[in-house]
Amino acid sequence: MLLSKFIRDIYYKNALFLSSLKIFYASKGLFFLLDGAEGARLTGHDMVGSSRFYWLRLYPLLDLALAAIFAYYSPCVTNWIAPLFGWKQGQVFNILLASPFLAGAALMSIPIILRHVGFYHKQNLQRLATAMRQLLAFGTYFLCAMGIYTVAMESDIHNSKILLVNLVGIILVIFLRYSLTRFINLHRSDAFRRQVVLVGDSAAVQTGWESLPEHWRCNFKVVGRFCDAAPHEEELQTLIEQHNVTALYVFGGLAAHHDFAPLIEQCEVQGIDVNLVLRDRLSSSLRVDMNEVGDTRMVVLSSTPEVSWALLCKGVLDRLVALCLLIASSPFWLVAAIGIKISDPKGPVFFRQKRSGLYGRVFSMWKFRSMYVDAESRLEEVKAKYGNEMNGPIFKLTNDPRIFKFGHFIRKTSIDELPQLLNVLVGDMSIVGPRPLPVYETEAFPRIEHRRRLSVKPGLTCFWQIEDRSDNSDFDNMIAKDLRYIDEWSLWLDFKLFFRTIPAVLFGKGAK
């Protein structure tokens, strides 16, 4: 009760400020619905231009309108179904009229949340079960927000039921809209299908076209195929004029663009879309962008996080968090320094080693020394005598004889990693990212594909350190987890990994 009263007081005392925020939030959502550039960026692999428009701008607006209509009539619907559930009918409370700013912001958040859960991302390619799962995720988000609002505003039981009916009804009307549009799309007649021509090597065309989902291919009618680089300009032009061809699909990757350049140019000059289908061997995380430098246009194939506000925020947060951790951990620095000097007084407190950073750039990584001074010179001797617990080029040994007694303690508690906060402050490392490996281990990677882990800045912690840490001997598993981080990166993922690291460090999970 005290908490809800406090929240309510803040709400009413800052009504103007909160209303401004709601208007900004709503305008941001409207901008997303109307902005084509953002939509195009989100569905760079969607090969139907008109479909991209519908799923990213028209259908979100339609969902918003349907949700608003249902929200307006939801009090009447609640009273109508009340006898079915044994509810008492109450006074009609229309939230759209009672609090237009709050209701407007809530309604505008619907397409934004749906986009967040992936409902509008390549929707013409997804299965019905996927759409249902995304709508359930949307409902979970909205249910949590409704719970917070109900507690803060101390809504009576009838108004809470109206909100619940709103949520269920909005999910149902959006699902019905999606099912109807999907049914129409799948059962359209030939008159409404796009006429297309396929070109490329015969095997590439056959394999590539049939690998696409059938419920996507039903949008098209293939009126011609050209599977060799011989001159086909006259035949293609005949097809274009007789069948009103709207698109050309080129299979075989970038090489096919060169082989079939005359046919591609022939379509381009007539305003016919040319779709270059990339080879299957390319990563599913590949992002395709267009860059213009002067009068030159470039196709950019990228599989790393693109430069964005989130990436810039990551750099700022890295330094702020590192500075805070540096100050908070200062007593441990003193303990580590004293313990190292007592254990091995002849050597330095800190250990510096050349590590591979962003794109392989070499930098000096700092740690508290946990091994004897001659540890690096004895590496080959230890390998020959005790072997290696880690397959691949990385060396791991549980009871490494080069580690002195206090060194085991600071490794177990991860105190030895604290000096790397200095590397984060100067920009060589991040808080979250694949662990930097010694240069000699990077040079010994068995496959060049492993070097993709170098395409992001290394960090203090990542999936492998949290989920397995030192008790995993599978090198390929470590690489897979690092690449998973690159493919799935977001600022929210960094937050989750950071907070998951805290219990792993406190309980010494797997550290050796």
User: Could you read off the pLDDT of 350-384 as tens digits, one per residue?
Assistant: 999 999 999 899 999 999 999 988 888 888 888 88
Q: Which of 125-134, 259-268, 363-372 has the highest mean pLDDT?
A: 363-372
Structure tokens at 93: 């409370």
Calculate the alpha carbon distances from 196 to 199, 239, 248, 257 in Å: 10, 9, 6, 17
Instruction: Please give the share of the chain, as a percent, with pLDDT higher than 70.
Output: 77
Per-residue pLDDT band at 31 (split at 50, 70, 90): very low
DSSP, res 433: S
Mean model confidence pLDDT for the chain: 78
Give the lowest-confidence range in 160-169, 183-192, 381-390.
183-192
Question: DSSP per residue over 350-392, as a string?
Answer: EEEEEEE-GGG-EEEEEEE--B-TTTGGGHHHHHHHH--SSSS
Summarised one tens digit per residue, pLDDT across range 7-19 is 444 444 344 334 4
pLDDT at position 201: 84
Nearest in space to 166 (alpha carbons), one of 69, 99, 88: 69
Please give the residue that has the higher pLDDT: either 154 or 110.
Answer: 110
- How confident is the model over 4-32, as a mean pLDDT? 41
User: Residue 205 class from Cβ within 10 Å (0-12 exposed, 13-18 middle, 19+ buried)?
Assistant: buried
Beta carbons of 174 and 67 less than 8 angstroms apart: yes
Nearest in space to 311 (alpha carbons), one of 491, 432, 42: 491
Distance CA(317)–CA(492), nearest Å, equals 12
Nearest in space to 279 (alpha carbons), one of 254, 304, 299: 254
Per-residue pLDDT band at 331 (split at 50, 70, 90): very high
Distance CA(50)–CA(52), nearest Å, equals 5
DSSP, res 438: B
pTM, rounded to two decimals: 0.60
Structure tokens at 28: 């941001």
pLDDT(68) > 50: yes
Side chain identity at 255, as an amino acid letter? A
Beta carbons of 488 and 283 less than 8 angstroms apart: no
Instruction: Please give the share of the chain, as a percent, with pLDDT higher than 90.
Output: 24
Nearest in space to 340 (alpha carbons), one of 416, 289, 419, 285: 416
- How confident is the model over 390-403, as a mean pLDDT? 82
Structure tokens at 313: 């925020």
pLDDT at position 19: 40
Distance CA(197)–CA(53), nearest Å, equals 22
Q: Which of 32-36, 71-75, 199-203, 228-232 has the highest mean pLDDT?
A: 199-203
Domains and CATH numbers, the chain: 2-186 (no CATH), 190-281 (3.40.50.960), 309-506 (no CATH)
Helix (H, G, I), strand (E, B) or coil at 474: coil
Structure tokens at 175: 């699902």
Q: Which of 387-391, 424-428, 478-482 has the highest mean pLDDT?
A: 424-428
Per-residue pLDDT band at 433 (split at 50, 70, 90): very high
pLDDT at position 461: 93
Per-residue pLDDT band at 512 (split at 50, 70, 90): low
Helix (H, G, I), strand (E, B) or coil at 32: helix
Beta carbons of 383 and 400 less than 8 angstroms apart: no
**At a CB cut-off of 8 Å and minimum separation 6, what does 193 contact?**
218, 219, 220, 221
> H helices then E strands: how many in the chain?
23, 10
